[in-house]
Structures are given as C-alpha cells and as structure tokens.
Amino acid sequence: MKKFAVVLGASGEIGEKIARQLADSKWSVYLHWNSRPLDDLAAELKAGYPDQEFVPVRADFAENGAAERLAGQVFDAACIVVASGHALYKMLIDTTDPDIEELWQVHVKNPVSAIRLISPFFHRHSKSYVVFISSIWGEIGASMETAYSAVKGAQLAFVKAYAKEMAASGTRVNAVSPGFIATKMNSSWSEEELKAIEDEIPLGLGTPQDVADAVDFLVNGKADYMTGQTLRVNGGWHM
C-alpha cells in the first residue's frame, strides 16, 4: 500500500528538499505550489521512483478558501508537512493590516484548515504525522520581524495542542525550528552581513537538506515516541 505525504510549499527550496527526501524514503507525495509549477519536479521524481506517485497541487495560501481547494485535490494522506510561507522584514509600525492578514493566512489559517480537512484520511493508517517548519524566531522573537515571529509562534502553539488532541489516534505532531538556512530568501543580505551572522552560529549556516533530514527523522518511524515537540535545527544558535 502506497503511503502519501502532502508537502505544503514544495516549490520553495526547503519544501523541495523535503519532498525529495520523502520520496527517497518511499513516500508518494502531493507537491503543493502556487507561483512555480512543479510538473517537472513530479516527472523527475516519478522517473526516479516509478513505484510511487507524485502529484502537483496548486493553491494560493494567501487567499481565502485555499485550504478547501487544496484538500479537494488530495485523496489520501498519512503525513502533512507545512513548509509554505514567506518572511516579512519590517518594523511593526510600518507593517500594514494586509501584511498581517497575509502572514496569518499563509502561515496559520490555511495550513491549519488544510490539516483539518485532510486529517480524516489519517484514520486509514495506524500512524500518521504532521510537521510544521516553523522558525527560531517563533521561539525567541526577532526585532524587525515582529509579525512574522508572531505567526511562527502560533504554529508552535498549534503543534502542542494538536499533538495532545491526536495522540490517541496515532498521529504524531511536531515542529522543526530552523535557524539561519542558506536559501534564496536570504540573498538580499550582503556578504559582510552573512559573515557576521555565520560567526554567531557555532556550526555555521544551515542548508535546506538539514531541515529535510530532520523531517525525515520525524516521519519515518525513528521518532514515534516524540509528539508536541520542537526540533531545533539551528547549528547551536539557540540552545
């Protein structure tokens, strides 16, 4: 029997690495995207793993009703990984209501609604998994990223509550909290700024694969006595 995972935000660098890692661990994957089509990725994965299925699904999580549109394209799941999202670097006084609304929709409202709508499939499986890719800022907060820190903290609160609610059903709910991961999202930083940040982190900058490996650990039977936890992948930046 094939096992299906839904990767929200599979078009991002971290989401794509997670999808590839799950495929290598014998998961069939629903590849969620919005602005970057994933037909080529699906075809590549299908060629590499012909016994599995890889299905691109589109939904704009900045819009109302996106969770319903996504869930309508999913027909089985034993795993949901929430890797969708975007950063916002502004002082709170400069942050607009539309900014806050979009952060809430993309990071909390639509992911939580998608989990609610897809979770009935979990009852087909003895074990199921939900993993949020949160952020170090959801734990400790960041100046100039107050609204972003708030929604990332909300994800961590959801993980704790939903873990308690779903434990009896065999669903493990955890979060991965990355530190500074070298992605295109951080390309606006100068070399000097990146070097200063890297010098603060005992193990240096992280990679998307570091996050994907943590997700793989959580959803492939090696961490089944963990639920409601935040797995820090930050190179020792926050201990």
Question: Catalytic site residues?
Answer: 148
Paired with 56 in beta bridges are: 31
- CA distances for 35 relative to 58, 132, 202, angstroms: 9, 21, 35
Contact in structure between 233 and 133 (CB atoms under 8 Å): no
Paired with 181 in beta bridges are: 206
Contact in structure between 11 and 86 (CB atoms under 8 Å): no
Dihedral of alpha carbons 25, 27, 28, 34, sign: negative
- What are the strands, taking DSSP E only, across the chain? 4-8, 28-33, 54-58, 79-82, 128-133, 171-178, 230-233
